Amino acid sequence: MSNVAIVTDTLACLPKELIEKYNISIVPIIINFQGRAYRDSIDLSPHQAYELFLKDPDAFATSPASPMQYLEIFREAAQRTNQVLCFCVSSHLSTSYNVARIAAEQVSSELPSVQIQVINSKTVLAAQGFIALAAAQAASSCHDLSGALETAIAVKERVTFSLVLETIQHVYRTGRVPKIATQAASLFHIRPILTTRSGVVRLVSLSRNMQQGLDHITRTMKAKVGDDPMHVAVMHAYAPAEAERLSQRMSSEFNCVELWTTEVSPVVGYALGAGAVGFAYYDGSGLGV
């Protein structure tokens, strides 16, 4: 068993098999629909949540995890080890980082022997997941907290993601684009291409259709990484068939030392819309992961 407990939230989009393999603790973000609250990936699978979203997008909303949820996770982790690393979604996108820090301080005051470090991942989706996963993999190889953190920071400095949206219609929910602008753009069937930079999700390009967008982000990735060993996570929002085709393309065109597929958390998907497809990735050269 690892000497370090790894904690992250459902926005990291880690597949269940990796969560279980590395004993990663997951804090669920809350989904609100028609007056009911659901815990992401516990009360609802991502697939089920997208079906609710498509049924009534205006009734679908989200809220961050509460301090009590982090307290519960940290206290449970403290029963297994006195070293805990928590990786949160970018503080530019959510209050989770500040909430987790408050909870960590309370647990540390209750249990002074327990060391909890809360890390701002400065990203989201499977890019965040890769950072937490790298820490968990390092911890499972008998690294202590400082070793696991060092590995995670190295991945944090390299990882990014590219995501092609099927629609721009719901992006106004991020608060960064006026609703009237997204409604107008959706009439022209524009597919936005998003990535992350400096902790903020940014629009980097536009495409006329999904295939054109996927071709663009794949060429961009190839220009950056060439034949270097790559860690890749294919992501989709209620589009498993498209994700499977993209995964096969990644496998054939890149030197993937790690490749898995995951569904975009509906907590993010409520602003991105169903049908989004893309990938998170980092160059593993020299990292030993």
Query: Do 151 and 262 fall into the same domain?
Result: no
Domain that holds residue 22: 5-29+64-156
Are 13 and 69 in the same domain?
yes
Boundary of a domain, candidates 124, 141, 156? 156
Q: Are residues 166 and 229 in the same domain?
A: yes
Instruction: Report the pLDDT value the prediction gives residue 181, as an integer from 0 to 100.
Output: 43
In a domain, 43, yes or no: no
Cβ–Cβ < 8 Å for 289, 134:
yes
1/4 Cα distance (integer angstroms): 9
CATH of the domain at 204: 3.30.1180.10
pLDDT at residue 35 in the model: 92
Token look-up 């990203």 returns 123
Q: Is residue 21 part of a domain?
A: yes
d(C-alpha 164, C-alpha 191), whole Å: 6
Q: Do 17 and 99 reside in the same domain of the chain? A: yes
Judge if 13 and 152 occupy the same domain. yes
Of 141, 156, 171, which residue sits at a domain end? Answer: 156
Asked whether residue 245 falls in the same domain as residue 268, the answer is: yes
221 and 80 within one domain? no
Please write down the HEC assignment for all residues of 37-52.
EEEECCCECHHHHHHH
Query: What are the start-end ranges of the E strands in the chain?
Result: 5-9, 25-27, 30-33, 36-39, 60-63, 83-88, 115-120, 160-164, 191-197, 200-207, 229-236, 255-263, 277-283
Question: Are residue 140 and residue 268 in the same domain, yes or no?
Answer: no
Question: Looking at the domain assignment, is residue 179 inside a domain?
Answer: yes
The answer to the question of residue 37 being in a domain is: no
Instruction: Tell me, yes or no, if the pTM score tops 0.95.
Output: no
Residue 248 belongs to some domain of the structure: yes
Q: Which of 123, 156, 189 is the last residue of a domain?
A: 156
The answer on 172 and 145 residing in a single domain is no
Along the chain (289 residues), what's the average pLDDT of each consecutive run of 10 residues? Answer: 90 97 96 95 94 92 92 96 96 93 96 96 97 96 89 97 82 49 53 86 86 97 96 97 98 97 91 91 85
**Residues 142, 164: one domain?**
no
Quote the pLDDT of residue 172: 45
258 in any annotated domain: yes
Q: Domain of 122: which CATH number?
A: 3.40.50.10440
Shared domain for 276 and 175, answered yes or no, is: yes
Yes or no: say if 152 and 6 are a contact pair by the CB < 8 Å rule.
Answer: no
* Number of folded domains that form the chain: 2
Does the residue 56 lie in any domain?
no
Residues 165 and 273 reside in one and the same domain: yes
d(CA 244, CA 29): 26
Residue 81 lies in a domain: yes
Provide the pLDDT for residue 158.
96
